[in-house]
Amino acid sequence: MGLAPMDGITDEPFRLMIAKYGKPDVITTEFVSAEGICHGATKPLSALIYNEIERPILAQVFGSDPQSFYKSAFVFCELGFDGIDINMGCPAKNITAKGSGASLIQTPELAKKITRETMRGVSDWAKGKKIKDSGLPDTIIDYLNLHRPKMVKRKVLPVSIKTRIGYNRDCAEEWVKHLLESKPANISIHGRTLKQMYTGKADWNAIGHAAEVARGTETTILGNGDIESIEDGLAKVKEYGVDGFLIGRAAFGNPWIFQVKGPEIMLRDRIKAAIKHSELYEEIFGNKHFVHMRKHLAWYLKGFPGAGEIRKKLMQTSSAQEVKEVLQYAHESDKGT
Ligand SMILES: Cc1cc2nc3c(=O)[nH]c(=O)nc-3n(C[C@H](O)[C@H](O)[C@H](O)COP(=O)(O)O)c2cc1C
């Protein structure tokens, strides 16, 4: 079971909450652009900050230029990731318009080339090729020299793919057959087409058929889409013959989701978690963009009767201290809930 990557959500503070409260078997970062890296952009690399307690952790990358995947593989290896996950599922227009994300479903030859180039980068790095010979720009090399962990053992990292069941119709079997040719370690399949975006229901039958295609190969298949709990995920593993599953949106405001039969979560636990998350956010990013933290605060208090007023106040907070003040008041007036 793994945490699905979600841009704007699965940042370092969120992932630390997940690792602390109910650790899944694998965690993935938000996506970074392979082409952006090759143009020397270092700011987006903040998405790649991680903590040892998150391991195994995969870096997710998107793009459409195979050469950029080759070069950026060196970055993920140097930063000590446990694997590289290629995004072939994002439906956002700004991504697909450039041939990246889910639009790769329409260009399977390019998709295979991208996977192979990423693997070639990983393999060259494992064999000892230096980053100065990788073709990466100086800004990225300087960044790596500053941020590289002390001890990174050169080894061949697994390369995986995250995708959807099709572009505008279910073509999961055919698409997975293509992807298997480049022998990725894993393919995670979200049971919707690009056209569906996030509407309708995830088609688990389509995921199951794709899993059949991969059976007997060395590539594992993780199913994804609309899973509400671990029990739900495990039932789907049995029913659809996948090797495991990813959970995305059900983790919003619910870092306990990966606990199997954990204790009942009370309002006071949610308050504590919201405060902890705010503190982590501030520790890691400062409070300049605290506005990004507010949606998490609303999720922590979702569904509690009478929490509407508190949520409104939380939507105006700009620091962990302000969150504490609002929530400690709520906690005091709601002891024992
Ligand atoms: C806000 C948001 C951002 C997402 N960003 C990414 C992403 O960067 N990379 C990716 O592979 N999938 C991304 N996804 C898709 C999720 O990983 C997952 O496939 C999808 O939400 C379905 O799973 P769920 O029903 O468990 O949420 C995103 C989904 C959401 C809701």
Average pLDDT over residues 259-286: 91
- Residue 123 belongs to a domain with what CATH number? 3.20.20.70
Q: For residue 300, what is the domain's CATH number?
A: 1.10.1200
Query: What pTM did the predictor assign?
Result: 0.96
Domain end, chosen from 226, 251, 276, is at 251
260-266 long-range Cβ contacts below 8 angstroms, 24+ apart: 260/230, 262/22, 266/337
Average pLDDT of 199-212?
Answer: 98
Separation of CA 336 and ligand 1 centre (Å): 36
258 assigned to some structural domain: no
Q: What is the 3 state secondary structure string of 283-332?
A: HHHCCCCCHHHHHHHHHHCCCCCCCHHHHHHHCCCCCHHHHHHHHHHHHH
Into how many domains does the chain fold?
2
User: Quick check: is 69 in a domain?
Assistant: yes
Q: Which of 190, 204, 226, 292 has most ligand 1 atoms within 8 Å of CB, for mutation?
A: 190
Whole-angstrom Cα Rg for the chain: 20
Q: Ligand 1 within 6 A of 295 CB?
A: no
Q: 59 CB less than 6 Å from ligand 1?
A: no
CA distance 140 to 144: 6
pLDDT value, residue 306: 76
152 Cα: distance to centroid of ligand 1 (angstroms):
29
Q: Which among 224, 251, 278 is the end of a domain? A: 251
Residue 187 has pLDDT above 50, yes or no: yes
Query: 40 in a domain, yes or no?
Result: yes
The DSSP symbol for 244 reads E
Q: 291 lies in which domain range?
A: 267-332
Of 1, 6, 245, the one to substitute when testing ligand 1's pocket (max ligand atoms within 8 A of C-beta) is 6
Report, as an integer, the average pLDDT of 275-300.
Answer: 96
- Collapsing DSSP states into helix, strand and coil, what is residue 159? strand
| Judgement on whether residues 302 and 164 belong to the same structural domain of the protein | no
The CA 139 to ligand 1 mean position distance, Å, reads 30
With a 6 Å cutoff on the Cβ, whether 11 touches ligand 1 is no
Q: Ligand 1 mean position to 334 CA, how many Å?
A: 34
Mean pLDDT of the region 46-68:
97
The residues, any chain, with a CB within 8 Å of residue 117's CB and separated by 6 or more, are: 66, 67, 69, 70, 73
52/57 Cα distance (integer angstroms): 9
The reply to whether ligand 1 has any atom less than 6 angstroms from the CB of 196 is no
pLDDT at 136: 98
Q: Is the CB of 278 under 6 A from ligand 1?
A: no
The whole-number pLDDT of residue 295 equals: 97
- Written as one letter, the residue type at 196 is Q
Does residue 62 have a pLDDT over 50? yes
pLDDT at 307 over 90: no
Any ligand 1 atom below 6 A from CB of 17: no
Indicate which residue's Cα is closest to atom 14 of ligand 1. 6
| Domain end (from 227, 251, 275) | 251
Q: Is the CB of 236 under 6 A from ligand 1?
A: no
φ, ψ for residue 49, nearest 5 deg: -70, 135
What pLDDT is stored for residue 245 in this prediction? 98
Average pLDDT (114-124) is 98
Nearest Cα residue to 173 out of 210, 204, 203: 210
Same domain, 104 and 228: yes
**Ligand 1 contact via 92 beta carbon (within 6 Å):** no
Q: Which residues of 281-310 are buried (b: 16+ CB within 10 A; e: fewer)?
A: bbeebebeebeebbebbbbbbeebeebeeb
pLDDT (0 to 100) of residue 264: 87
- Residue 334, pLDDT above cutoff 90: no
